[in-house]
């Protein structure tokens, strides 16, 4: 049996600390971050091939997990979104539940309801959307 591949956590100190606490406690410390539900998403780097993990706010819809690729309203997509666009096979941790998933960008028909779901959880997404010219993708994670 091969040893698991090392995973590189987000380079931002507070995010890396959040991830460490989440992992150490199976999400008991970290799932609820300032009142928002968070999960850990691991993608494969599109250039490096290395596994990359980050913590993200999520919603649930019909057994699927939903993410917003807001990047804080920046003019470019977040690296995790670019990575999953290149390789949609990801791993997810929600509390102690770890599972493989397939990621996809929500369809135009899905977007209005999913956007309402996610802004209901984190209203600042509306501010992010208003502050950028790019369309902010919604991501659906379907358990494999």
**Confidence at 13, pLDDT banded by 50, 70, 90:** confident
Domain count, the chain: 1
**Torsion sign (Cα): 95, 97, 102, 107:** negative
Asked if the structure places residue 1 within a domain, the reply is no
What per-residue confidence (pLDDT) applies to 12? Answer: 74
Is the residue at 80 inside a domain? yes
Q: What residue numbers bound the domain in which 92 lies?
A: 7-143
The Cα 91–Cα 23 span in angstroms is 14
Per-residue pLDDT reduced to its tens digit, 39-75 = 999 999 999 999 999 999 999 999 999 999 999 999 9
Percent of residues, the chain, with pLDDT higher than 90: 89
Q: Is residue 96 part of a domain?
A: yes
Evaluate whether residue 107 is within a structural domain. Answer: yes
For residue 16, is it within any domain? yes
Q: Does some domain include residue 2?
A: no
Q: Is residue 32 a part of any domain in this protein?
A: yes
Here the CATH number for the domain that contains residue 73 is: 2.30.110.10
Q: Quote the CA–CA distance of 47 and 54 in Å, as a whole number.
A: 17
Lookup result for tokens 């970290």: 30
Q: What is the mean pLDDT of the chain?
A: 94
């Amino acid at each position: 049996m091969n040893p698991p591949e090392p995973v590189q956590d987000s380079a931002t100190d507070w995010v890396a600390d959040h991830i460490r606490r989440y992992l150490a406690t199976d999400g008991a410390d970290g799932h609820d971050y300032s009142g928002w539900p968070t999960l850990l998403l691991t993608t494969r780097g599109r250039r490096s091939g290395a596994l990359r993990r980050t913590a993200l706010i999520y919603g649930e819809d019909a057994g699927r997990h939903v993410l917003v690729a807001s990047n804080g309203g920046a003019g470019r997509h977040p690296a995790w979104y670019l990575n999953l666009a290149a390789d949609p096979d990801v791993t997810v941790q929600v509390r102690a539940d770890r599972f493989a998933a397939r990621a996809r960008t929500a369809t135009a028909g899905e977007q209005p309801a999913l956007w309402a779901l996610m802004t209901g959880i984190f209203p600042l997404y509306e501010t992010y959307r208003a502050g950028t010219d790019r369309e902010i993708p919604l991501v659906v994670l379907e358990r494999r």
